Amino acid sequence: MRTAVAETPVIVAIDGPSGTGKSSTSKAVADRLGLAFLDTGAQYRAMTWWMLANGVDTGDPAAVAAAAAKPVIVSGTDPLAPTITVDGTDVAGPIREEAVTSAVSAVSAVPEVRTRITGLQRTIAAEAGAGIVVEGRDIGTTVLPDADVKIFLTASAEARAARRSAELTGAAAADVAATREALVRRDTADSARKTSPLAKAADAVEVDTTHLTLEQVIERVVGLVNEKRHDR
C-alpha cells in the first residue's frame, strides 16, 4: 500500500548480489513512495533470452556484441505489476529459466550489451515523473552515479542460498549447497568483469539483510529515502 507520494522526483539506486532481497525490497519501496520501479537484471536476462532464442552463441563475446542492438526490450515500471517484453513477446517467465540463468553473466559481461542496456536504463529513469527505484548491480556506480539515494544490500552466502532455494521447486529447492555455489560463482563473475562490475558505490549506505525481515529492510530503505527528501 502506498503511504506517501514523492513531492519532488527522487532516484533511488539499490545494488547488491543475488538473494539479498533487492527485488522484493525495491518493489515495496517504490510502491510505498509512489515511485516507478525498474528491475535491470530482468533486462539483461531478456537480452540473454533473445540470444538463446535466436541461436547466438552466448559463449562468443563477438557474436553477442554483433547482435546486441537487435532485440527491442521494453520494461514496464509499475512496482505492483512490472512487465518485460522482447520484440513484443512477454518474457517475464522464460527469462527466469535455468538456461538463461546459466548464460546471463557471460552475456552481461559483453561491453556492447552493457552499453545498450545502460542506455535503456538511463532513459527510463529520466522519464520517470515522480522518480524511480532502480535495482541492479552497477546502478549507483555506473548507470546512475548521481542517484539521490544509493543502497547496497548484502547478506551472508548461507542466508542468500536459503532464500533463493525457497523460491525454487523440486530437487533444486532441496539442494541449498548447490544454490550457494551457484550464487558464489555468479558473484565472482559479476565482480570480476571488466565493464561495470558489481561493486558498492563509495557513497552508498550498506544494509546487511542477513538477520533482518523483509519488512525491516523495507522500512530502513524508506526511512533513508525520506531523510534525503526532507534534507532538500
Instruction: Domain 10-222: give its CATH code.
Output: 3.40.50.300
With a cut of 70, list the residues of the chain below it in pLDDT: 1-7, 167-174, 232
Q: Which residues contact 21 (CB under 8 A, 6 or more apart)?
A: 153, 155, 163, 209, 214, 217
β-bridge partners, 165: none
- Give residue 62's pLDDT: 98
- Give residue 204's pLDDT: 96
β-bridge partners, 13: 134, 150
- Give residue 171's pLDDT: 45
- Domain boundary assignment for the chain: 10-222
Read off the pTM. Answer: 0.87
* CA dihedral sign of residues 17, 20, 21, 25: negative
- 82: helix, coil or strand? coil
- Give residue 138's pLDDT: 93
Q: What is the pLDDT of residues 131-161, one digit of tens each?
A: 999 999 999 999 999 999 999 999 988 888 8
Q: What is the pLDDT of residues 184-209, one digit of tens each?
A: 787 777 777 777 788 899 999 999 99
- Give residue 145's pLDDT: 97
With beta carbons less than 8 A apart as the criterion, state whether 144 and 122 touch.
yes
